């Protein structure tokens, strides 16, 4: 099922033409009418006329998050406030919050992207979707809300929090799909367990659209087997508009609609373009944005571009599950560690529960890594030595996969923090000088 | 076999307030502890408790998310005289039964000892054959 078959299945050559036409129009316009982009292009020694084919995009300079911050609040906007219909403010995963403005068309394209995505995972007018992302300044709630409404689904705008009440509504209203962060999904499943709600028996939930934080395949398997649902990965950042793109039912990468966004992968160190299949930092150009264009924006998320066409029939390029944000990388005793690698390792150990925390400290000159995990009841043994050997086994798995020594602390259920919005599982207590 | 006693073994994080939190859940669930011991390592402890109505207490506490399991132990009344523990241990040793841990308690009916052994049924039999009486849950 397609929402917009013509665009979604457009032959690659035609798509490329459309992309180039849109890029050219955008760059011409910005060079003539916007101080920031004009100066930036001049400084890089590139003129609109230097763009003769899509590949020439690599001549354009990169944009950075710092550009958005330096020009806060309105310096990056290319339309007057009167043309703006909404603002969102990013959660500031790293550093200061970022302001994003939207014109009517911007909202329309964002919603269109979500309508395509939701349709691609089988969500239709017959569905009732609970939107358990935060509503408000965060893009997740309102974004999914309008996307689900556009496909004709019935929306339950429950936002975050009051989890028991959310479960009650899910049952009473026969909710079939949910959108939230993966960590909130886990939290909901935990709460359901505690109050005796069985997702399979008591709810009609079939699909979950999960994102806004990096998560792993192991976490997906746990969510699916515990709740008896299909979980799909959704991607997007506030700078792009918000959550926009999902996997299709094939679940082999996230489809990035080519008429709306152009994705490049670069080596984060050198800025050189990397080919399909090579992992690097994602650079995004938004081809239709009006209020706050993005041209070669370094989004800092790490992924791989999959260029071959998907079996679902959509021709759009796909990106692999985001493996982390380059800003999230921890350097511990000189070793690069991504929190997602730790999650990957933990989720493969059946005795480990679904909640964990990563604590980084410095003792003297030495960094220390502590990983706290909740243990599953089935893994508990009455014998102290069994528990110590479980702890050692987790430590040795971490050592094996990440090549770093960690101290693993076993915790009982409910003793680690739960997250309703974006999870904050890493606590870095080192004082950087 | 009615002379096997169900002990609740509860995982406790070794951090301030955690035992209090679990004790508070026990109170909430109306679980009364008759005897207990706390085994500890650097980072966590295992609370082993003999309670009234262990099956019911287990269900209630599990529904609160407490990490726990039921463990079979045996109970022995200890005569208040030298050599009492020796006799029991000697019988078990002679029968090739290994004692993993044990703890004592003095209740209304005098001193008792609870033992976790690798084969509780064989232990009850061996002790019975040498005249050492093991306790039923109702006798604690």
Q: Is A265 exposed, middle or buried (0-12, 13-18, 19+ CB in 10 A)?
A: buried
> What pLDDT, on the 0 to 100 scale, is given for residue A92?
59
Whether residues B17 and B61 fall in one domain: yes
Min CA distance, B32 vs chain A (Å)? 20
Whether residues B65 and B89 fall in one domain: no
Categorize the per-residue pLDDT at A96 as very low, low, confident or very high, splitting at 50, 70 and 90: low
Min CA distance, B41 vs chain A (Å)? 7
Q: What is the CATH number of the domain that holds A225?
A: 3.40.50.12780
Q: Are A411 and B48 within 8 A, CB to CB?
A: no
Chain B partners within 8 Å of A381 (Cβ)? 69
Whether residues A372 and A419 fall in one domain: yes
Chain B partners within 8 Å of A415 (Cβ)? 13, 15, 18
| Lowest mean pLDDT across A42-56, A252-266, B122-136 | B122-136
Closest residue to A384, CB basis, from B13, B15, B39: B39
Whether residues A263 and A392 fall in one domain: no
Res. B60: pLDDT tops 50? yes
Which two structure tokens, joined as six digits, stand for A337? 């560690």
Chain A partners within 8 Å of B18 (Cβ)? 412, 415
> What pLDDT, on the 0 to 100 scale, is given for residue A44?
94
Q: Which helix (H) or strand (E) holds A300?
A: strand A297-306
B47 at interface of A, judged by CB pairs closer than 8 A: no
Categorize the per-residue pLDDT at A94 as very low, low, confident or very high, splitting at 50, 70 and 90: low
Q: What is the pLDDT of residues A241-280, one digit of tens each?
A: 999 999 999 999 999 999 999 999 999 889 999 999 999 9
Q: How far apart are CA B45 and CA B12, in angstroms?
A: 5
Chain B partners within 8 Å of A411 (Cβ)? 13
| Lowest mean pLDDT across A97-101, A130-134, A162-166, B113-117 | A97-101
Categorize the per-residue pLDDT at A93 as very low, low, confident or very high, splitting at 50, 70 and 90: low
Which two structure tokens, joined as six digits, stand for A290? 């009006």
Helix boundaries (H) for B1-136: 18-28, 54-63, 84-94, 120-129
Residue A409: closest C-alpha in chain B = B43
- Contacts of residues A23-26 at CB distance under 8 Å and 24 or more positions apart, as own/partner, are A23/A51, A23/A54, A23/A57, A23/A262, A23/A285, A23/A287, A24/A48, A24/A51, A26/A287, A26/A293, A26/A295
Whether residues B39 and B89 fall in one domain: no
A196 at interface of B, judged by CB pairs closer than 8 A: yes
Closest residue to A415, CB basis, from B9, B13, B69: B13
Whether residues A270 and A354 fall in one domain: no
Query: How far is C-alpha B23 from the geometric centre of its chain's CA atoms?
Result: 17
ipTM of the prediction: 0.86
Closest residue to B11, CB basis, from A190, A380, A391: A380
> What pLDDT, on the 0 to 100 scale, is given for residue A391?
95
Min CA distance, B139 vs chain A (Å)? 24
A4 at interface of B, judged by CB pairs closer than 8 A: no
Res. A432: pLDDT tops 80? no
Res. B64: pLDDT tops 90? no
B29 at interface of A, judged by CB pairs closer than 8 A: no
Q: What is the pLDDT of residues A167-212, one digit of tens each?
A: 999 999 999 999 999 999 999 999 999 899 999 999 999 999 999 8
The count of domains in chain B is 2
B77 at interface of A, judged by CB pairs closer than 8 A: no
Chain A partners within 8 Å of B8 (Cβ)? none
| Average pLDDT of the residues of chain A | 93
Which one, of B116, B89, B86, lies nearest residue B101 by Cα? B116
Q: What share of chain A has pLDDT > 70, as a percent? A: 98
Q: What is the pLDDT of residues B105-121, one digit of tens each?
A: 887 778 899 999 999 99
> What pLDDT, on the 0 to 100 scale, is given for residue A433?
45
Q: How far apart are CA B71 and CA A381, in angstroms?
A: 9
Structural domain of A368? 329-428
Q: Are B69 and A381 within 8 A, CB to CB?
A: yes
Whether residues A6 and A47 fall in one domain: yes
Q: Are B41 and A412 within 8 A, CB to CB?
A: no
Q: Are A412 and B66 within 8 A, CB to CB?
A: yes
Q: What is the CATH number of the domain that holds B120?
A: 3.30.2130.10
Q: Residues A28-53: what's their mean pLDDT?
A: 94
Min CA distance, B68 vs chain A (Å)? 6
Q: Residues A318-332: what's their mean pLDDT?
A: 86
Whether residues A319 and A333 fall in one domain: no
Whether residues A104 and A8 fall in one domain: yes
Q: What is the CATH number of the domain that holds A371?
A: 3.30.300.30
Q: Are A412 and B116 within 8 A, CB to CB?
A: no
A409 at interface of B, judged by CB pairs closer than 8 A: yes
Cis geometry, peptide bond prior to residue A73 (ω within 30 degrees of 0): yes
| Domain finish residue from A325, A360, A377 | A325
Q: How far apart are CA A4 and CA A8, in angstroms?
A: 6
Chain B partners within 8 Å of A382 (Cβ)? 9, 46, 48, 69, 71, 116
Whether residues A276 and A413 fall in one domain: no
B108 at interface of A, judged by CB pairs closer than 8 A: no
> What pLDDT, on the 0 to 100 scale, is given for residue A14?
97
Q: What is the pLDDT of residues A278-302, one digit of tens each?
A: 999 999 999 999 999 999 999 989 9
Whether residues A128 and A171 fall in one domain: yes
| Average pLDDT of the residues of chain B | 89
Q: Are A196 and B63 within 8 A, CB to CB?
A: yes
List, in sequence order, every residue forming a beta bridge with A285; answer none if it has no partner.
A262
What's the angle, vertex CA A322, arms to CA A319 and CA A324, rounded to 5?
A: 150
Whether residues A310 and A363 fall in one domain: no
How many CA atoms, within 13 angstroms, populate the side-chain half-sphere of residue A170?
31
The count of domains in chain A is 2
Whether residues A211 and A347 fall in one domain: no
Q: Are A410 and B44 within 8 A, CB to CB?
A: yes
Whether residues A280 and A412 fall in one domain: no
| Domain finish residue from A267, A301, A325 | A325
Whether residues A53 and A137 fall in one domain: yes
Q: Residues A292-321: what's their mean pLDDT?
A: 95
What's the longest Cα–Cα distance across chain B? Answer: 46
Structural domain of B108? 73-139
Q: Are B11 and A384 within 8 A, CB to CB?
A: no
B44 at interface of A, judged by CB pairs closer than 8 A: yes
Asked if residue B48 lies in contact with residue B39, where contact means CB atoms within 8 angstroms, the answer is yes
Whether residues B52 and B87 fall in one domain: no
Q: What is the pLDDT of residues A382-428, one digit of tens each?
A: 999 999 999 999 999 999 988 899 999 999 988 899 988 888 899 99
Would you give the DSSP letter of residue A63? B
């Amino acid at each position: 099922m397609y929402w917009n078959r013509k665009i979604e299945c457009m032959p690659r050559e035609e798509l490329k033409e459309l992309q180039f036409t849109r890029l050219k129009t955008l760059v011409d316009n910005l060079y003539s009418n916007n101080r920031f982009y004009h100066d930036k292009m001049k400084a890089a020694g590139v003129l609109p006329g230097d763009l003769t084919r899509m590949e020439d995009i690599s001549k354009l300079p990169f944009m950075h998050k710092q550009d958005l911050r330096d020009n806060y609040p309105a310096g990056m906007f290319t339309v007057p406030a009167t043309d703006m219909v909404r603002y969102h403010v990013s959660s500031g995963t790293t550093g200061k919050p970022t302001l994003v403005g939207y014109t009517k068309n911007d909202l329309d394209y964002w919603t269109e992207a979500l309508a395509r995505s939701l349709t691609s995972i089988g969500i239709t007018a017959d569905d009732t979707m609970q939107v358990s992302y935060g509503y408000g300044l965060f893009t997740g709630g309102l974004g999914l809300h309008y996307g689900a409404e556009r496909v004709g689904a019935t929306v339950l705008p429950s936002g975050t929090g009051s989890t028991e009440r959310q479960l009650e509504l899910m049952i009473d209203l026969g909710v079939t799909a949910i959108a939230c962060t993966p960590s909130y999904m886990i939290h909901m499943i935990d709460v359901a367990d505690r109050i005796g709600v069985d997702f399979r028996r008591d709810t009609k939930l079939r699909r979950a659209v999960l994102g806004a934080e990096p998560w792993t395949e192991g976490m997906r398997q746990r969510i699916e087997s515990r709740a008896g649902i299909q979980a799909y990965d959704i991607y997007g950042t506030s700078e792009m508009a918000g959550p926009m793109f999902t996997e299709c039912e094939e679940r082999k990468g996230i489809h990035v609609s080519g008429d709306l966004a152009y994705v490049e992968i670069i080596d984060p160190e050198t800025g050189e373009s990397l080919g399909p299949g090579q992992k690097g930092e994602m650079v995004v150009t938004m081809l239709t944005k009006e209020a706050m264009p993005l041209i070669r924006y370094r989004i800092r998320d790490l992924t791989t571009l999959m260029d071959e066409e998907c079996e679902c029939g959509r021709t759009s390029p796909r990106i692999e599950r985001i493996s982390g944000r380059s800003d999230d990388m921890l350097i511990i005793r000189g070793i690069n560690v991504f929190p997602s690698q730790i999650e990957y390792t933990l989720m493969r150990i059946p005795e480990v529960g679904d909640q964990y925390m990563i604590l980084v400290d410095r003792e003297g000159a030495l960094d220390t890594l502590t990983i706290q995990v909740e243990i599953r009841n089935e893994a508990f043994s009455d014998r102290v030595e069994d528990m110590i050997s479980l702890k050692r086994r987790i430590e040795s798995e971490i050592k094996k996969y990440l090549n770093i020594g960690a101290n693993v602390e076993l915790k009982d259920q409910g003793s680690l923090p739960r997250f309703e919005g974006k999870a904050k599982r890493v606590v870095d207590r080192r004082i950087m000088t | 076999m009615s002379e096997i006693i169900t002990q609740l073994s509860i995982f406790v994080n070794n951090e301030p307030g955690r035992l209090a939190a679990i004790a508070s859940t026990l109170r909430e669930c109306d679980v009364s502890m008759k005897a207990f011991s706390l085994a500890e390592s650097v980072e966590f402890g295992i609370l082993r408790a003999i309670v009234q109505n262990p099956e019911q207490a287990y269900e209630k506490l599990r529904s609160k998310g407490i990490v726990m399991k039921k463990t079979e132990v045996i109970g022995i009344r200890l005569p208040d005289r030298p050599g009492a523990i020796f006799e029991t241990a000697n019988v078990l040793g002679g029968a090739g039964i290994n004692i993993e841990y044990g703890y004592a308690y003095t209740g209304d009916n005098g001193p008792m000892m609870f033992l976790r052994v690798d084969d509780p049924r064989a232990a009850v039999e061996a002790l019975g054959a040498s005249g050492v009486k093991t306790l039923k849950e109702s006798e604690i």
